[in-house]
Protein backbone atom coordinates (compact mmCIF):
# COMPACT_ATOMS: atom_id res chain seq x y z
CA UNK A 1 0.00 0.00 0.00
CA UNK A 2 1.31 3.42 -0.93
CA UNK A 3 2.05 5.90 1.80
CA UNK A 4 -0.74 8.43 2.26
CA UNK A 5 -0.28 12.09 1.51
CA UNK A 6 0.55 14.10 4.59
CA UNK A 7 -2.77 15.68 5.74
CA UNK A 8 -4.91 13.16 3.83
CA UNK A 9 -8.22 12.35 5.53
CA UNK A 10 -9.91 8.95 5.27
CA UNK A 11 -12.67 7.10 7.09
CA UNK A 12 -11.67 4.29 9.43
CA UNK A 13 -14.14 1.84 10.98
CA UNK A 14 -11.97 0.90 13.96
CA UNK A 15 -12.18 2.47 17.39
CA UNK A 16 -8.58 3.70 17.39
CA UNK A 17 -6.36 5.81 15.17
CA UNK A 18 -3.63 3.68 13.50
CA UNK A 19 0.03 4.54 13.90
CA UNK A 20 0.90 7.69 11.95
CA UNK A 21 -2.72 8.86 11.94
CA UNK A 22 -4.81 11.00 14.30
CA UNK A 23 -8.52 11.49 14.83
CA UNK A 24 -10.08 14.53 13.17
CA UNK A 25 -11.31 15.81 16.51
CA UNK A 26 -9.96 19.37 16.51
CA UNK A 27 -7.04 18.64 18.82
CA UNK A 28 -4.23 21.19 19.03
CA UNK A 29 -0.83 20.09 17.76
CA UNK A 30 2.58 21.55 18.51
CA UNK A 31 4.03 23.29 15.47
CA UNK A 32 7.57 22.45 16.54
CA UNK A 33 6.84 18.71 16.33
CA UNK A 34 4.69 18.78 13.16
CA UNK A 35 6.22 21.45 10.96
CA UNK A 36 5.48 19.65 7.69
CA UNK A 37 1.80 19.15 8.52
CA UNK A 38 1.55 22.74 9.78
CA UNK A 39 2.88 23.97 6.44
CA UNK A 40 -0.13 22.29 4.81
CA UNK A 41 -2.91 23.08 7.31
CA UNK A 42 -1.72 26.34 8.81
CA UNK A 43 -4.34 27.77 11.18
CA UNK A 44 -7.25 27.00 8.85
CA UNK A 45 -8.84 24.81 11.52
CA UNK A 46 -7.62 26.67 14.62
CA UNK A 47 -4.55 27.29 16.76
CA UNK A 48 -2.58 30.43 17.44
CA UNK A 49 -0.11 29.96 14.54
CA UNK A 50 2.84 30.58 16.86
CA UNK A 51 3.09 27.40 18.90
CA UNK A 52 -0.03 25.41 17.96
CA UNK A 53 -2.32 24.55 15.09
CA UNK A 54 -5.52 22.49 15.10
CA UNK A 55 -6.58 19.42 13.20
CA UNK A 56 -9.96 19.45 11.44
CA UNK A 57 -12.85 18.69 13.79
CA UNK A 58 -15.39 16.41 12.11
CA UNK A 59 -17.10 15.25 15.30
CA UNK A 60 -20.83 15.40 14.57
CA UNK A 61 -20.23 17.26 11.32
CA UNK A 62 -20.57 16.42 7.65
CA UNK A 63 -17.64 17.36 5.41
CA UNK A 64 -18.35 19.47 2.32
CA UNK A 65 -16.10 20.85 -0.40
CA UNK A 66 -15.33 24.60 -0.26
CA UNK A 67 -16.52 26.94 -2.97
CA UNK A 68 -19.87 27.76 -4.53
CA UNK A 69 -21.96 24.97 -6.02
CA UNK A 70 -24.61 25.75 -8.67
CA UNK A 71 -27.35 27.68 -6.96
CA UNK A 72 -25.69 27.27 -3.56
CA UNK A 73 -23.91 29.51 -1.07
CA UNK A 74 -20.16 30.02 -0.94
CA UNK A 75 -18.17 28.20 1.73
CA UNK A 76 -14.51 28.66 2.57
CA UNK A 77 -12.00 26.06 3.70
CA UNK A 78 -12.31 25.45 7.44
CA UNK A 79 -15.71 27.15 7.75
CA UNK A 80 -18.23 25.61 10.13
CA UNK A 81 -21.98 25.98 10.10
CA UNK A 82 -25.34 24.39 10.68
CA UNK A 83 -27.24 23.52 13.84
CA UNK A 84 -28.62 20.26 15.19
CA UNK A 85 -31.97 21.68 16.30
CA UNK A 86 -34.24 24.46 15.02
CA UNK A 87 -37.07 26.42 16.62
CA UNK A 88 -39.16 28.23 14.02
CA UNK A 89 -39.90 31.90 14.59
CA UNK A 90 -42.84 33.98 13.37
CA UNK A 91 -41.14 34.89 10.09
CA UNK A 92 -40.50 31.24 9.23
CA UNK A 93 -43.90 29.66 9.77
CA UNK A 94 -46.34 29.49 6.83
CA UNK A 95 -48.71 32.40 6.33
CA UNK A 96 -52.12 31.62 7.83
CA UNK A 97 -55.17 33.19 9.43
CA UNK A 98 -57.31 32.64 12.52
CA UNK A 99 -61.08 32.85 12.91
CA UNK A 100 -62.00 35.22 15.74
CA UNK A 101 -65.34 34.50 17.43
CA UNK A 102 -66.31 36.88 20.28
CA UNK A 103 -67.32 34.94 23.36
CA UNK A 104 -70.58 36.20 24.94
CA UNK A 105 -72.72 34.65 27.67
CA UNK A 106 -75.80 36.83 27.21
CA UNK A 107 -76.63 40.44 27.79
CA UNK A 108 -79.40 43.02 27.97
CA UNK A 109 -80.65 45.69 25.59
CA UNK A 110 -82.87 48.70 26.21
CA UNK A 111 -85.53 49.34 23.56
CA UNK A 112 -87.43 52.62 23.40
CA UNK A 113 -90.52 52.33 21.20
CA UNK A 114 -93.73 54.26 20.45
CA UNK A 115 -97.02 52.65 19.35
CA UNK A 116 -100.70 53.57 18.96
CA UNK A 117 -103.37 51.10 20.20
CA UNK A 118 -107.09 51.52 20.84
CA UNK A 119 -110.01 49.34 21.82
CA UNK A 120 -112.82 48.33 19.50
CA UNK A 121 -115.47 49.09 22.11
CA UNK A 122 -116.96 52.39 23.11
CA UNK A 123 -115.45 54.22 26.00
CA UNK A 124 -116.29 52.96 29.48
CA UNK A 125 -114.26 55.14 31.84
CA UNK A 126 -112.12 58.23 32.09
CA UNK A 127 -109.56 56.44 34.30
CA UNK A 128 -106.64 55.34 32.07
CA UNK A 129 -105.32 52.79 34.57
CA UNK A 130 -104.93 49.39 32.84
CA UNK A 131 -107.09 50.59 29.95
CA UNK A 132 -106.77 51.33 26.24
CA UNK A 133 -107.83 54.33 24.17
CA UNK A 134 -111.49 53.78 23.18
CA UNK A 135 -112.67 53.45 19.60
CA UNK A 136 -115.56 55.88 20.12
CA UNK A 137 -116.76 57.91 23.10
CA UNK A 138 -119.78 56.64 25.07
CA UNK A 139 -122.10 59.58 24.53
CA UNK A 140 -122.31 63.30 24.09
CA UNK A 141 -119.74 65.93 25.12
CA UNK A 142 -120.58 65.80 28.83
CA UNK A 143 -120.39 62.02 29.02
CA UNK A 144 -117.23 61.23 27.00
CA UNK A 145 -115.59 58.02 28.15
CA UNK A 146 -112.13 57.98 26.63
CA UNK A 147 -110.96 54.51 27.67
CA UNK A 148 -112.11 50.94 27.14
CA UNK A 149 -111.21 47.61 28.78
CA UNK A 150 -110.36 45.53 25.72
CA UNK A 151 -107.65 45.69 23.06
CA UNK A 152 -109.05 43.14 20.62
CA UNK A 153 -109.29 45.17 17.47
CA UNK A 154 -107.81 43.70 14.30
CA UNK A 155 -106.15 46.28 12.14
CA UNK A 156 -104.77 46.22 8.63
CA UNK A 157 -101.11 45.43 8.14
CA UNK A 158 -99.08 48.58 8.55
CA UNK A 159 -101.79 50.38 10.47
CA UNK A 160 -99.65 50.38 13.59
CA UNK A 161 -96.11 51.67 13.30
CA UNK A 162 -93.51 50.97 15.98
CA UNK A 163 -90.22 52.80 15.95
CA UNK A 164 -87.40 52.55 18.40
CA UNK A 165 -83.68 52.27 19.04
CA UNK A 166 -81.62 49.46 20.53
CA UNK A 167 -78.48 50.14 22.53
CA UNK A 168 -76.18 47.13 22.26
CA UNK A 169 -73.37 48.78 24.14
CA UNK A 170 -69.75 47.98 23.28
CA UNK A 171 -68.90 44.54 21.92
CA UNK A 172 -65.54 43.48 23.38
CA UNK A 173 -62.76 42.79 20.91
CA UNK A 174 -62.01 39.06 20.60
CA UNK A 175 -58.75 37.77 22.01
CA UNK A 176 -56.74 35.39 19.83
CA UNK A 177 -54.41 33.40 22.03
CA UNK A 178 -51.09 31.90 21.06
CA UNK A 179 -50.90 28.23 20.22
CA UNK A 180 -48.05 25.78 19.85
CA UNK A 181 -45.41 24.62 22.28
CA UNK A 182 -42.31 26.57 21.17
CA UNK A 183 -40.44 23.28 20.96
CA UNK A 184 -37.41 22.73 18.76
CA UNK A 185 -37.22 19.98 16.17
CA UNK A 186 -34.21 18.02 14.98
CA UNK A 187 -32.43 19.17 11.85
CA UNK A 188 -30.21 16.14 11.24
CA UNK A 189 -30.08 13.82 8.26
CA UNK A 190 -29.95 10.05 8.87
CA UNK A 191 -26.40 9.07 9.81
CA UNK A 192 -24.01 6.41 11.05
CA UNK A 193 -20.80 7.28 12.87
CA UNK A 194 -17.36 6.18 11.72
CA UNK A 195 -13.96 7.67 12.54
CA UNK A 196 -12.31 10.23 10.31
CA UNK A 197 -8.52 10.10 10.60
CA UNK A 198 -5.81 12.36 9.18
CA UNK A 199 -2.34 11.27 8.12
CA UNK A 200 0.30 12.72 10.43
CA UNK A 201 3.16 11.17 8.43
CA UNK A 202 3.41 10.36 4.78
CA UNK A 203 4.37 11.79 1.42
CA UNK A 204 4.46 15.55 1.28
CA UNK A 205 2.03 16.47 -1.50
CA UNK A 206 3.45 18.28 -4.50
CA UNK A 207 1.49 21.20 -5.94
CA UNK A 208 2.32 20.29 -9.55
Neighbours of 138 (CB within 10 A): 16
The more confidently predicted of residues 71 and 187 is 71
Task: Compute the Cα dihedral for 203, 204, 205, 208 and give only its sign.
Answer: negative
- Measured in degrees and rounded to the nearest 5, phi and psi for residue 203 equal -80, 130
Q: Are 174 and 151 in contact (CB under 8 A)?
A: no
Band of the pLDDT at 167, cuts 50, 70, 90? low
Answer for the pair 45, 78: CB distance below 8 angstroms, yes or no.
Answer: yes
Q: What pLDDT, in 10s, does the model give residues 105-152? A: 555 556 655 555 565 566 667 666 766 666 666 566 556 665 566 665
Residue 156 or residue 125, greater confidence: 125
> Distance between CA 25 and CA 46 in Å, rounded?
12
Q: How confident is the model over 17-37, as a mean pLDDT?
A: 97
Q: Which residue has the higher pLDDT, 99 or 1?
A: 99
Yes or no: say if 160 and 181 are a contact pair by the CB < 8 Å rule.
Answer: no
Per-residue pLDDT at 100 exceeds 90: no
Considering the chain, what is the average pLDDT of its residues? Answer: 81
CA distance 204 to 191: 33
For the chain, what is the HEC assignment? Answer: CCCCECCCEEEECCCCCCCCEEECECCEEEHHHCHHHHHHHCCCCCCCCCCEEECCECCCCCCCCCEECCCCCEECCCCCCCCCEECCCCCCCCCCCCCCCCCCCCCCCEEEEECCCCCCCECCECCCCCCEECCECCCCHHHCCCEECCCCCCCCCCCCCCEEEEECCCCCCCCCCCCCCCCCEECCCCCCCCEEEEECCCECCCCC
pLDDT higher at 173 or 202: 202
pLDDT tens digits, residue range 52-95? 999 999 999 999 999 999 999 999 999 999 999 998 888 888 88
Against a cut of 0.85, is the pTM above it?
Answer: no
Which domains does the chain show, CATH number per domain? 9-62+189-199 (3.90.1340), 110-160 (no CATH)
For residue 165, pLDDT beyond 60? yes
Instruction: From 138, 137, 128, 132, select the one nearest 155 (Cα to Cα).
Output: 132
Q: Give pLDDT, residue 89.
A: 85
Q: How confident is the model at residue 29, as a pLDDT?
A: 98
Alpha-carbon dihedral of residues 85, 89, 94, 96, nearest 10 degrees? 140
Closest by CA to 93, choosing from 194, 182, 186, is: 182
Amino acid sequence: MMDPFLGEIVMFAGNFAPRGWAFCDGQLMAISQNTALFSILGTTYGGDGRTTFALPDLRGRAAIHPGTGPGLSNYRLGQRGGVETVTLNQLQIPSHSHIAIPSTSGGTANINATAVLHADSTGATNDPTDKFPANVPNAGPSQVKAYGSNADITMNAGAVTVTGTVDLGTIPAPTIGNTGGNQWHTNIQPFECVNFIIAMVGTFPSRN
